[in-house]
Structure formats: structure tokens, C-alpha cells
Amino acid sequence: MRVQKQRVAAYGVCIEDERILLARWLGPDGKKWILPGGGIDHGEHPHDAVIREFEEETGHDIEVERLLGIDSELRHEAERDYHALRVLYEVRIVGGELRDEVGGSTDQAKWFDLGDVPDLPRVRSLDVALGLFRTSPPAGILR
């Protein structure tokens, strides 16, 4: 019997002066760059989760500007079917200071020029989020 696992998370796209703030995720396949954010706690609103997670991973306080959309990814892995739902927001920094997360799922927070993103080891959802940011599809789905 295959195990089914679903994870719901919220992430923030923070772009200033053609630069994007990313966090380096310590994933099972090695370190990859990801949007700051993460899992939504039981009973927590995604809006509140992205604010909490962004601060945990970058040190910055943020304000949510707008909902970009939802990314839904189904992966059939060796022993399970994994369904990731990601709520993606455009955010802006309103306080705090850049710092790295200690003892979490990421180990570094860093600004990158947008033009350098395609050359980074990164998760697929980063490309989806940038597509949503650039195109603003009415239904919030990038196909």
C-alpha cells in the first residue's frame, strides 16, 4: 500500500531593485535555493505562516502585498505519493536585518540578481513563483 502525504506551505517572493531574496534549503537531494517560507501550522492562516516563516529564515519582517497564486505538485516517489500545495505571495520588507537561520531547514539567506537565478541550484517552485509574479494569471495558476 502506497503512503499518501500532503504538505501545505506558504512562501514569499521578495523582489527589490531586480534582486530576489532566497534561502538555501537543506533538502534530501542537497542544498538548493528556495523562496523563504514553509509549512503552515494546524489552524494557521497561510498569510500568517508566510510572515512567520519569512522572519525565521531571513531575519526580515514582511508585509504581504498580494496573493500570486497556488502551486500544486504531485510526485510519485518510491514508497509514497507526495502532494505539495504552495501558497505564493508577493511580499515586501518592513523591518528586521538579514541573517541566516540556525538549526532549521535552511542555512543561508541571500540576495541574488534576477538574471542569476537560472544558474542557481534551485527548487522547481521558485520558477513557478517567478512565472506567477511576472504574468499575474487571473486564476493564480501557471500552466
**CATH node for 3-119+129-135:** 3.90.79.10
Residue 133, Cα to own-chain centre: how many angstroms? 13
Domain coordinates in residue numbering, the chain = 3-119+129-135
Best CA proximity match to 36, nearest among 119, 121, 123, 95: 123
88 pLDDT above the threshold of 90: yes
d(CA 37, CA 52): 8
DSSP string, the chain: --EEEEEEEEEEE-EETTEEEEEEEEETTEEEEE-SEEEPPTT--HHHHHHHHHHHHHSEEEEEEEEEEEEEEEEE-SSEEEEEEEEEEEEEEEEE-----SSSSEEEEEEEEGGGGGGS-B-HHHHHHHHHHHH--TTS---
pLDDT recorded at residue 2: 83
14 pLDDT above the threshold of 80: yes
pTM, two decimals, is 0.95
pLDDT recorded at residue 99: 98
Q: Does residue 130 contact residue 71 with C-beta atoms inside 8 Å?
A: no
pLDDT band at 13 (very low <50, low <70, confident <90, very high): very high
Per residue in 24-37, pLDDT (tens digit) is: 999 988 999 999 99
pLDDT recorded at residue 125: 96
d(CA 98, CA 95): 10
Residue type, 132: L
Per residue in 118-142, pLDDT (tens digit) is: 999 999 999 999 999 999 999 999 8
Q: Does residue 7 contact residue 84 with C-beta atoms inside 8 Å?
A: yes
